[in-house]
Every structure is written in structure tokens, then in C-alpha cells.
Amino acid sequence: MECSQASAGNPLVSSRLRHFLVCVYSARTNELHRLHQLPGLRHECISLALIGHTFPAGEALPFQNACAGLVVCFNVLDHVSNAPQVVREISRILRPGGLFFLGVDTFSYLGLAKWYLWTKPRHANEILVRAHPYRFLERHVKKLCRAAGFQRVRTMPRTPIDLLLGHSVLTPFLFRKS
């Protein structure tokens, strides 16, 4: 599939984005409105919910190399079978200089310890655990994306205390492909 098939014919998409947007997201699509909370991306992402989209497996996206200018991956990365492969696939389909908007739950060090020492062993057969093969610290997300050829443009900052002790938050990241 060509990337242009993902948004072809939508009159609401600006000419700068037409044919260049791929959305990768889970069932919580109503959370796409959070894109508007990231300054600098707000004017580029109008009417995202109305743009055509596809639901392929993130590990094998059905698009040509370097065909997209923007990929939105929201509340997906912690649910997939192979997160590094998903990020590599996104890098493959993005043009050099293309933007990658990623929204993913990140945890504090204490929250991650609680997950591995308490929640995961005691609730292994419940959907909460089975549907989340990955748990990320903010620095793990940055490292994963850097390894796939992305440079971080912006992240919503968390305080040092929050990074150490806070609860999980859906963290938005904006990366640019090198």
C-alpha cells in the first residue's frame, strides 16, 4: 500500500499533510485530541480523526519506504509484540526529516519496580498484564527511538521526583527522522 492511500481524497487535510500521514494507534482513538496539547504540532494536526487510516500490524507496515512525512503512534508501543521492530518500521516509512509523534505510557522507577515485583507476578493471567508486554521509563523510549534513527524534538517534561516516585502517565514525544 502506498502512503497516499491512507489519506487520499480528504478535503479537510492541509496540502502539506495530504498523502503523507500514517496513523498507528490502538482502540483508544479518542485520545488523538491530545496531539493538540503539544505546541508546534497543533496547527499541523487538524482533523486527524477524519483522515483515512489503516490498522496494520505495527511490526510490518504495508507502506513503501520513505513515503510518509508524519506518523502518529498513540497508546500502541506498550501493547505490541516487538516494540523495537515497530519503531524501526516507522523509521523505514518516514522520509528523512519526517516527524514521528509518539504517545506512550511511561513509568517512574518506583512504578516499574512495583510492576515487576508485585503486579506482574500476582496478576499474570489478567488482561492488565497480558495486554502490556512492555513497560517503559522515559529514557527507555528515547533510547529506543534514537537507535532507530530519530532525534528528539520535544517531550512533555516530568519533574525529577515524578520520574522517581510518580505514577504512570501517557507521555507525548515528538521525534524527527535523521
Residue 112 falls within a domain, yes or no? no
Check whether 7 has a pLDDT greater than 70: no
Strands (E), the chain: 21-25, 68-74, 94-107, 136-137, 150-155, 169-177
Residue 124 falls within a domain, yes or no? no
The residue range of the domain holding 97 is 4-105+138-157+169-177
1 vs 141: which has the higher pLDDT: 141
| Report for 14-23, 25-34, 129-138: range of highest mean pLDDT | 129-138
Asked whether the whole model's pTM tops 0.85, one would answer no
Q: In angstroms, rounded to a whole number, what is the distance separating the alpha carbons of residues 66 and 93?
A: 4
Task: Find the CATH number of the domain harbouring 60.
Answer: 3.40.50.150
pLDDT tens by residue, 95-122: 999 999 999 999 999 999 999 999 999 9
Q: What percent of the chain has pLDDT over 90?
A: 43
110 vs 26: which has the higher pLDDT: 110
Q: In angstroms, rounded to a whole number, what is the distance separating the alpha carbons of residues 5 and 19?
A: 7
